[in-house]
Amino acid sequence: MADVALRGVSKSYDGRSDVLHGIDLDVRHGEFVVFVGPSGCGKSTLLRMIAGLESITAGEVRIGGQVVNALPPRSRDIAMVFQDYALYPHKTLFENMAFGLRLRKTPEDEIRRRVMDAAKLLRIDGMLDRRPAALSGGQRQRVAIGRAIVREPKVFLFDEPLSNLDAQLRNEMRSEIKRLHQRLGATIIYVTHDQVEAMTLADRIAVLSGGHRMQYDTPDAIYHRPATTFVAGFIGAPPMNLVDCRLDGDAADLGGVRVPLASRSLAGAARGAALKLGVRPENLRLARAGADIALPAAVCLLEPLGAEVLVTLKLGAAEVVARCPAAFREPPGTPVTLYVDPSHVALFDAASGTALSAPSAH
């Protein structure tokens, strides 16, 4: 296993439209890194460039300290799990997993041992003489993971491996992949468009948008201290509330409603500047606590989820969503008072979308 380093990695087709713009990124040995972003953000392309399936237009990819730009995929000592499984349909499961080892002239008893170990780990050891056609989607993806494991590569690459599975199986496989990482201690780079997968699996998340790296940090930091409005809106379900406002003294003016700001929030913002105020739905509460400030609001819409209810509220000129206890049943139109801790409020520059301040506590 080894670390991976990307230095100014860019991709463009025909020298025209850039798909990726100078991505810098370090993946430490044994780290689980997730590339997340909407479709078309370049995350899969970036993964394929690390794998050697896409050429690198500019910049450098290093695996274990070695620049691999010019190396073909087979020489990079990586293994990849594809969204569509990509199992060899004409080979049995055993041969699917053994293929890479056979090409590397591994001794037969060593192949047998490694394949059996991986098969037991993934609970597919009873079906090794079958062909992929006889398997369910979840089993096929297990085989694909097994094919990667037996190689004992430096780096594992996962390209949206759970996208084709149904919801329940996806949750199951997600925790299995996490367990697998804990057990193998392998370096993993994992691509997904699903922010829940990103949050649950990653040691660090790289959020990509439009071929740019928006933020690269721990799930905790990404969630609580988003670097841009894009990250704030992309991570979290429902996403962070983003409300247009203007800076007025030490408060944000939401068009009639003033939100006093923690003094640290003000750094770098000019008076009267157009800003976006961000606050997570769970930080808008119906009961006062500690240093909370009170905001007058009115109920617009209730979305009960069982354990809780998502309440859309009118706050000044804007609408915000609050995560409320399941017992909340006020009909639309009811005036309520929202409480928010000023330290939970993030401020973004309205034009650039970059964070001016981040919430300090969570």
Partner 1 sequence: MSPAARVATGLPANPLAGRGLRLAAAAIVVVNGFFPAVWILLTSLKTETELVRKPITYWPRNLTLDNYLRAFTDQPLLRFLGNSLAVALASTALSLVVAALAAYAIARLNLRRRQLILTAIVASSMFPLVTLLVPIFETMRALNLLNTYTALVLPYTVLNLPVCTLVLASFFEGIPRDLENAAMIDGCTRVGALWRVVVPLAAPGVFTAGILAFVNAWDEFLLALSLNANASMRTLPVGITLYQGEFTFPWPTISAALVVAIVPIAVLIALFQERVVGGLTQGGMKG
Considering the complex, state which of residue 14 and residue 305 has its C-beta at the smaller distance from partner 1.
Answer: 14
Instruction: Considering the complex, state which of residue 16 and residue 271 has its C-beta at the smaller distance from partner 1.
Output: 16
The distance of closest approach from Cβ of residue 100 to partner 1 in the complex, given in angstroms and rounded to an integer, is: 4
How far is it, in rounded angstroms, from Cα 148 to Cα 1? 13
CA distance 115 to 121: 10
In angstroms, give the least distance from the CB of 76 to partner 1.
Answer: 8
Shortest CB 164 distance to partner 1, Å: 5
Query: Between 157 and 275, whose beta carbon lies closer to partner 1?
Result: 157
Q: Burial level of 305, CB count in 10 A (0-12/13-18/19+)?
A: exposed
Paired sense of beta strands 335-340 and 293-304, if any: antiparallel
Contact assessment for residue 320 and residue 241, using Cβ atoms and an 8 Å cutoff? yes
* 83 contacts 191 by C-beta, under 8 angstroms: no
293 touches 265 (CB < 8 A): no
Q: How far is the CB of 169 from partner 1 (least distance, A)?
A: 13
Q: Looking at beta carbons only, is 81 or 252 nearer to partner 1?
A: 81
Where along the sequence are the contacts to partner 1 (CB under 8 A)? 51-53, 72-74, 78-80, 82-90, 99-100, 103-104, 131-135, 137, 140, 147, 151, 164
Q: In what order do the strands lie in the sheet with 258-260?
A: 258-260, 251-253, 241-248, 274-279, 346-349, 355-357
Q: Which is nearer to partner 1, 45 or 265 (CB)?
A: 45
The encoded tokens of residue 342 equal 């000023």
104 vs 113, which CB is nearer to partner 1? 104
Map residue 109 onto helix, strand or coil: helix
Q: Select 121 or 143, whichever has its Cβ closest to partner 1.
A: 143
Give the nearest distance from C-beta 52 to partner 1 in angstroms.
8
Smallest gap from Cβ 39 to partner 1, in A, equals 17
Rounded to 10°, the helix 137-150/108-121 angle is 140
The structure tokens listed for 136 are 């369910």
> Most distant CA pair in the chain: distance in Å?
76
Q: How far is the CB of 260 from partner 1 (least distance, A)?
A: 53
